[in-house]
Amino acid sequence: MKLLVVSKSNIASSNIGNFLKESPKVKLEIISKGVLELDYLQSYSPKPELIVVASTHKSEAGIPMLNAHPTGNWASADLGGRPRTLSIAPALYLASAVRALRDSKEQLGLNYEVGLEVTHHSPTINLPVMFVEVGSSEKEWNDLQACEVVASVINKIAVETPKKEDICIGFGGPHYAPQFTRRVLAGKFATGHICPKHHIDSLNEEMILQAFNKTTPKPNFVALEWKGLKPEQRQKIISVLEKNKISWERI
């Protein structure tokens, strides 16, 4: 069973929810609490094989954007969940979502950017979780055409079994992960967890391995955004990967 989560207190989530579809294998969970208050889903029954959360995306730049990302906290739990804990990142579904967002916005001529974000915020549960979002301001949250696009993408991944492809996790670069987004959109690979450069210094071996082990399906390799990492940051990550016999590539 796949679980689609809609928050009535979140403008875009509520608008997206109006276009979502239930079926025997897809359940719609409508909540009053916020989209960052979802750790209760750990005990949800029956256990979902995938949780997709419809949400707003907020950005000070206010750039219209459609995006997707996995969840978890690399360090402190400033936006809910537990510190230094990641949910499971559903790599194939994340790739399918951003590609479908791109295709839909191009077909409709929507003036939105499309991309991945790095892993951030709650929930931090031991289940596959992803957010699909409309941003970055109230104008876009109330753009029903954009919200319908996001809903159509969520409906698509709720009923599909994504095709198999190479999977990696990523380290380095900024919050919007442009190097990873570009390669995912080009069909080079799918990504699970991505840790941005501003969290690299706080990483330890446990967190690096947690990102690898909490990506599904199991990653084929780790991708390092070479220019988005300092030499000492690269070496810290590489030493952990080679110690644990995990393949890595530079991008």
User: What integer pLDDT is reported at residue 60 of this predicted model?
Assistant: 80
* Residue 175 and residue 121 share a domain: no
Q: Provide the pLDDT for residue 61.
A: 83
Domain boundary among 159, 178, 213: 159
Same domain for 151 and 180?
A: no
Structural domain total, the chain: 2
Assess whether 139 and 171 both reside in one domain.
no
CATH number at residue 244: 3.40.50.10700
Backbone torsions φ then ψ of 92, nearest 5 degrees: -65, -35
Same domain, 55 and 19: yes
Q: Which of 159, 188, 215 is the last residue of a domain?
A: 159
CA angle (57, 218, 152) in 5-degree steps: 35
DSSP string, 96-151: HHHHHHHHHHHHHT---EEEE--S-SS---SSBEEEEEEEESHHHHT-HHHHHHHH
Q: Look up residue 173 and give its two tokens.
A: 């670069």
Residues 173 and 49 in one domain: no
How many other CB atoms sit within 10 Å of the CB of residue 251? Answer: 18
Q: Are residues 171 and 130 in the same domain?
A: no
Are 66 and 178 members of one domain?
no
The CATH number of whichever domain residue 137 belongs to comes to 3.40.630.50
**Residue 70, pLDDT score:** 98
Are 175 and 149 in a shared domain? no
Residue 42: its H or E element: none
1 in Cβ contact with 133 (< 8 Å): no
Residue 226 lies in domain? 167-250
The β-bridge partners of 133 are 55, 67
Is residue 28 domain-shared with residue 129, that is, in the same domain?
yes
Helix (H) or strand (E) holding 246: none
d(CA 243, CA 174): 27
**In terms of domains, do 120 and 210 share one?**
no
Same domain, 36 and 127: yes
Same domain, 120 and 24: yes
> 0.85 exceeded by the pTM?
yes
pLDDT tens, per residue, the chain with 251 residues: 999 999 999 999 999 999 999 999 999 999 999 999 999 999 999 999 999 999 999 988 889 999 999 999 999 999 999 999 999 999 999 999 999 999 999 999 999 999 999 999 999 999 999 999 999 999 999 999 999 999 999 999 999 999 999 999 999 999 999 999 999 999 999 999 999 999 999 999 999 999 999 999 999 999 999 999 999 999 999 999 999 999 999 99
